[in-house]
Amino acid sequence: QQQVKQSPQSLIVQKGGISIINCAYENTAFDYFPWYQQFPGKGPALLIAIRPDVSEKKEGRFTISFNKSAKQFSLHIMDSQPGDSATYFCAAQEYGNKLVFGAGTILRVKS
Amino acid sequence: ETGVTQSPTHLIKTRGQQVTLRCSSQSGHNTVSWYQQALGQGPQFIFQYYREEENGRGNFPPRFSGLQFPNYSSELNVNALELDDSALYLCASRAMEEAVEQFFGPGTRLTVL
């Protein structure tokens, strides 16, 4: 049962471009939406997260856009760099409970 | 402040065997969750421990069990290993009463032959 749907499965972006990854959720009880970055052979690292009471959060080159009515949220990576090449996971959490992850997006930034 | 650590890094077992994986939570974190990440997939929640009690479980059979110790470190035990148990096992910790952010360890790569 996939409660968080993530797209695209893979993404190739030129250096300096914008990478956009989208996620949709079903459970309206989710109240915390983090994004994780994972490099091969490593654990997921928390990148940025948002609560549903705000529509956008920006940290450096990373921005989350959140649409509560559509039950969708997205990650934008501005000025994408080769070092950003990794797998990105969106997730959703109901307070105190488990994280439910999307299937992941493999990002490759071409130099 | 040390992050989440896991041991061992890699492990190879044969079908039917039992395995124990270990996790030390980040300093100040009293909640530990375990996730299974199959190759090319997102992590799947196994269970969560808070103050030495299991307080949430995902869709995993009883042969997956765990413990949390007074120092908040944790173990994941898997009995009667199956080939499909081959995966990266991730431990995540957080401070339950203070924040929702979960921080993951590097994982243990388990291969079942």
Please list the rounded mean pLDDT of every run of 10 residues in chain A (111 residues): 88 98 95 95 94 95 96 98 98 87 97 91
pLDDT of residue B112: 98
pLDDT of residue B65: 97
Distance from CA of B44 to the nearest CA of A (A): 7
pLDDT of residue A94: 84
Question: pLDDT tens digits, residue range B43-78?
Answer: 999 999 998 999 999 999 999 999 999 999 999 999
Q: Is the pLDDT of residue B95 over 60?
A: yes
- Dihedral sign for Cα atoms in the order A81, A84, A88, A93: negative
Q: How far apart are CA A61 and CA B31, in angstroms?
A: 31
What pairs with residue B37 in β-bridges?
Answer: B88
Record: contact A34-B101, CB cut-off 8 A:
yes
pLDDT of residue A97: 80
Residue in B with minimal Cα distance to A10: B40
Distance from CA of B15 to the nearest CA of A (A): 23
Q: Which of B20, B23, B26, B18 is nearest to B34 (CA)?
A: B23
> Tokens in use for A7?
């797209």
Residue B1 pLDDT level (bands cut at 50, 70, 90)? low
Residues on A contacting B at a C-beta cutoff of 8 Å: 6, 32, 34, 36, 41-46, 49, 89, 91, 93, 95-104
pLDDT of residue A2: 57
Q: How far apart are CA B80 and CA B41, in angstroms?
A: 23
The reply to whether B100 touches chain A by the CB within 8 Å rule is yes
Residue in B with minimal Cα distance to A31: B100
Q: Are A47 and A35 a contacting pair, CB within 8 Å?
A: yes
The reply to whether B90 touches chain A by the CB within 8 Å rule is yes
pLDDT of residue B97: 74
